[in-house]
Every structure is written in C-alpha cells, then in structure tokens.
Amino acid sequence: EGLVFPDFKVSTEYPKEYKWRVFGMDFGYTNDPTTLVEIRYAHGNLYWKEHLYRTGLTNPEIATEVKRLELHREKVVADSAEPKSIEEIKRKGCHIIGAEKGRDSINQGIDAIKRYKCYIHSGSKNLIEEFSSYTWDKDRDGNPTNKPIDKFNHGIDAGRYALSNKILNDRKHLKPELIYI
C-alpha cells in the first residue's frame, strides 16, 4: 500500500540490445549501502540491474569494485552531495560525475522513472526489495503525501541520478517518444 512504484516487474531477462544505458551511484557507509545500478532502455521500457550494494566501503574500495566490474570506463552519475568522494574515485581512474540536482529533484526523478515500465533483473535482490518497499509518507491523518519516505531507496536513488542526468542533458538529442512514454 502506498508504493511509489507499484507496477514494476521482476524479470530473468536483461536486454543485450538497447537504445541507451546509464549507470548511477549512491554513496553510503555505515548504515546505508553504496549502490551502483545500471539501467537499459529497450523496447520502450527501463531494465534495472544492481552491480553493487554494500556497506562499509571507502572511496578507494568503491573505485576498486567499479574496476573489478569493468565499469570504470562507463560514465557513472553519482550523488553530487559528495564531491569529495566523486573526486577521489575519479582520481583512481573511474569515469564518475555528479548528478544534476535541482529543486524538487526527488519528485522529478520519480516522475521520470514513472514514464516507463520498469523491469528489475531477478538477480538484483536488493533492488527488488527497494521497489517492493519504497512508499509515500503519510500525514497525521494517515493520508499519503507527495513526499516519499527516505528508506528503501539507495539503488532507486542511484538510478534516479543516472536517469535525471540522461533526460536533462540529452533532452534536446532524444526523440520525444523516448522522453514522454
């Protein structure tokens, strides 16, 4: 009840052919995980896959993991609230940039995701848990608000950063049907 993304599907398939793909990262350490997700746009849908979901990683360890996954040459869009982390990971040889965040970026990102049908790869157990648990906050009377609860959202936030950058930066290059599906 009150799920932000009630219509997601779990899929064993992950498209090998796609129109575009993006990578996003959200930083964590003690209680929250550092996450790295990939989203592929294919057949008018978004296909999500988690590559990293772990607590306790330092920035050099994050860079090592990105290299181990052979994703260091891919542009990873990360939480711009941590410019020091982005710079340290960049200096370790990873292609990482900060997300473009504006006013109300959380709801704008959620709206961008909701333009598409989302498929979560079946091996992405943490992302599946997040999509199954990410809910809207409630007011005093128990009515849903327009603000999500800040829990079960680390992989979703990583995807939101990557998608927001793709849509904001490439809007003039994308065909309208890729933006307004």
Q: Are 69 and 52 in contact (CB under 8 A)?
A: yes
Among the listed residues 51, 70, 67, the one whose alpha carbon sits nearest the alpha carbon of residue 59: 67
C-alpha–C-alpha distance, residues 121 and 49, integer Å: 5
Residue 34's nearest CA partner among 62, 9, 8, 63 is 62
Distance CA 159, CA 8 (A): 14
Q: Using 50, 70 and 90 to split pLDDT, how confident is the model at 104?
A: confident
Rounded-to-integer distance, Cα 79 and Cα 42, Å:
25
Which of 2-6, 40-44, 101-105, 118-122 shows the lowest mean pLDDT across its residues? 101-105
Look at residue 169 in the predicted model and tell me its pLDDT. 58
CA atoms of 159 and 165, how far apart (whole Å): 10
- The closest alpha carbon to 54, from 64, 45, 44, belongs to 64
Stretch 86-111: mean pLDDT: 93
Q: Residues 71-80: pLDDT tens digits?
A: 999 999 999 9
Strands (E), 27-160: 34-42, 45-54, 76-78, 96-98, 117-121, 136-138, 144-148
| Model confidence at 12: pLDDT above 50 | yes
Cα separation of 167 and 141, whole Å? 36
Say whether pLDDT at 156 is over 60.
yes
Rounded Cα distance between 142 and 162, Å, is: 32
State both tokens at 16: 């090998």
Q: Can you tell me the mean pLDDT for 159-174?
A: 72
Given a cut of 90, whether residue 148 has pLDDT beyond it is: yes
What pLDDT is attached to residue 168? 61
At residue 17's C-alpha, the angle toward residues 69 and 10, to 5°, is 75
Question: How large is the average pLDDT for residues 131-137?
Answer: 96
What does the buried/exposed string (b/e) look like for 51-65 if buried means 16 or more CB atoms within 10 Å of the residue's CB? bbbeeebebeebbbb
C-alpha distances out from residue 146 to 36, 41, 110, 153, Å = 26, 27, 11, 16
